[in-house]
Amino acid sequence: MKHPTPLPHRAALRGALHFAVVLWWASCSVGVGWAQAPQPLLLGTPSAEGTYGGSYIRRVYKEWFARLGIAMDIQMFPMARLTLELDKGRIDGDTARALAFGESHPKLLRVGEPVMDVGLALWATNPKVQIDRLEDLATSGLTVSYARGVLMCEQLLRPLVPLGRLVDVTGNVNALEMMYLGRLSVYCGADVSVISDAQESLPNRPPPIKVLDIGKPTPLFLYLQPKHAELVAPLTSTLKKMRTDGTLERIRKDTQREFRYPGN
Q: Distance between alpha carbon 230 and the CA centroid of its chain, in Å?
A: 21
Paired residues of 117 in beta bridges: 219
Residue-wise pLDDT for 153-192, tens only, equals 888 999 999 999 999 998 899 999 999 999 999 999 988 8
Distance of CA 168 to the CA centre of its chain: 26
Q: Are 262 and 209 in contact (CB under 8 A)?
A: yes
Phi, psi of 233, deg, nearest 5: -65, -50
- For residue 78, pLDDT beyond 80: yes
In percent, the amount of the chain with pLDDT more than 90 equals 62
pLDDT value at 193 more than 90: no
Give residue 98's pLDDT band: very low, low, confident or very high (50, 70, 90).
Answer: confident
Q: Strands, E, within 125-242: which ranges? A: 144-147, 166-169, 186-190, 209-224
For residue 20, the model assigns a pLDDT of 45
The confidence score (pLDDT) of residue 30 equals: 42
Angle among Cα 81, 51, 249 to the nearest 5 degrees reads 110
pTM above 0.95, yes or no: no
Share of the chain above pLDDT 70, in %: 84
Residue 199: predicted pLDDT: 86
Q: Is 60 exceeded by the pLDDT of residue 245?
A: yes
In this prediction, residue 36 carries a pLDDT of 53
Q: Distance (Å, rounded) from C-alpha 194 to C-alpha 226?
A: 32
**Where residue 61 falls among pLDDT bands split at 50, 70, 90?**
very high
Q: How far, in Å, CA of 249 to CA of 119, rounded?
A: 17
Residue 253's H or E segment, with its range, is helix 247-259
Reported confidence tier of residue 29, pLDDT bands at 50, 70, 90: very low
Residues whose CB is less than 8 angstroms from the CB of residue 240 and which lie 6 or more positions away in sequence, other chains included: 113
Q: 254, 230, 216: which is closest to 114 by C-alpha?
A: 216
Contact 179, 187 (CB under 8 A): yes
Using DSSP's 3-state secondary structure scheme, residue 159 falls into coil
Rounded to whole angstroms, how far apart are CA atoms 66 and 14? Answer: 48
Phi first, then psi: what are they for 187, rounded to 5°? -130, 135
Q: What is the mean pLDDT of residues 137-147?
A: 94
pLDDT at 64 over 90: yes
CA angle at residue 239 from 83 to 96, to 5 degrees? 20
Whose CA is closest to 120, among 89, 87, 155, 92? Answer: 155
- 120 three-class SS: strand
Domains of the chain as residue ranges with CATH? 41-117+218-259 (3.40.190.10), 119-216 (3.40.190.10)
Instruction: Indicate the helix (H) or strand (E) that contains 41.
Output: strand 41-45
pLDDT given at position 33: 42
φ, ψ of residue 34 in degrees (nearest 5) = -65, -40
